[in-house]
Amino acid sequence: MRGMDRTTRETQILQAAKAEFATRGYHGTAVSDVIRRAQIARGTFYLYFKSKHALFERLLDDAFEEIHSRIKTIRVGADDPPPLIQLRANLSGAITYLLRDRPMTSILLHHAVGLDPIIDKKVVAFESRLLALIETALAYGQEIGLVRPCEPHVVGLCALGMIKEVVRSVSASREWEAQLDPLVDEILTMGLKGLLFQTPRRERKRAQEPKKVGLRLVKT
């Protein structure tokens, strides 16, 4: 471990802390657990973080920034992809990160909320940022005629809650580990179209019927 630069050492401590917090929870994890997993001296730990709480805050801040960096503002310019493609990229980027870094997702969903007022404030601020992005995208979608008339705040809350619950459930299993694209598509379809068919049953049935091809008689 000698000769390790500061950034590498800090990353080593953060990774060790992430594993411990995800397994033991905040209150069940001691600084001694982190330094044992990171294989460092206690004095080395305090060169980087003044307390366990400061370490936990840093993990949350890094995760929040990583998720936020994957969500881009929807743009409609001559050289921009279609809005739905951009929306899918945002959703895919965030969910891919959350399902690939399951220890961090476990911390976010199970160990951060209700910990103390300081952490709660960070969580609320982050979710408010996400909600604001969703509301802005919805309002812009209405402006360009892509989204039906609705209350962006209410619909934004529904969308955010749906994504959180899907991630909470899926992250606890390996069911969708190799199927991120179908998962993202299903969330997007549910968010955009809901559950009801978009066309009446009679029209759907007619569309599914084989088309009759008339015989062409040729005179000889």
H-helix or E-strand spanning residue 215? none
Whole-model pTM? 0.81
Closest CA to 105 of 192, 41, 26, 171: 171
Amino acid at 133: L
**Per-residue pLDDT, 67:** 94
CA dist., res. 164 & res. 2, Å (int): 41
Q: Which two tokens stand for residue 157?
A: 């809350």
**Per-residue pLDDT, 219:** 52
Using pLDDT thresholds of 50, 70 and 90, give the confidence band for residue 217.
very low
Closest CA to 24 of 118, 116, 107: 107
Name residues whose C-beta falls within 8 Å of residue 139's C-beta, 6 or more positions apart in sequence.
152
Q: What are phi and psi of 168, to 5 degrees?
A: -60, -45
- pLDDT tens track for 71-109: 988 888 889 998 889 999 999 999 999 988 999 999 999
Closest CA to 55 of 23, 13, 105, 8: 13
**Per-residue pLDDT, 209:** 63
DSSP state of 145: T
User: Is it the case that residue 214 has pLDDT exceeding 60?
Assistant: no
H-helix or E-strand spanning residue 25? none
- pLDDT tens track for 117-148: 999 999 999 999 999 989 988 888 888 888 88
What would the CATH number be for the domain defined by 1-50? 1.10.10.60
CA dist., res. 149 & res. 93, Å (int): 27
User: Is it the case that residue 1 has pLDDT exceeding 70?
Assistant: no
Q: Which two tokens stand for residue 174?
A: 């390996």
**Per-residue pLDDT, 194:** 80
* Between 201 and 141, the higher pLDDT residue: 141
Closest CA to 63 of 12, 19, 107, 129: 107
User: Is it the case that residue 215 has pLDDT exceeding 50?
Assistant: no
Name residues whose C-beta falls within 8 Å of residue 84's C-beta, 6 or more positions apart in sequence.
146, 188, 192
Cα of 21 vs its chain's centroid, Å:
20
Domain range summary for the chain, segments of one domain joined by +: 1-50, 57-196
Largest Cα–Cα distance of the chain, in whole Å?
101
User: The CATH number of 57-196 is which of 1.10.357.10, 3.30.420.40, 3.30.300.30, 1.20.210.10?
Assistant: 1.10.357.10
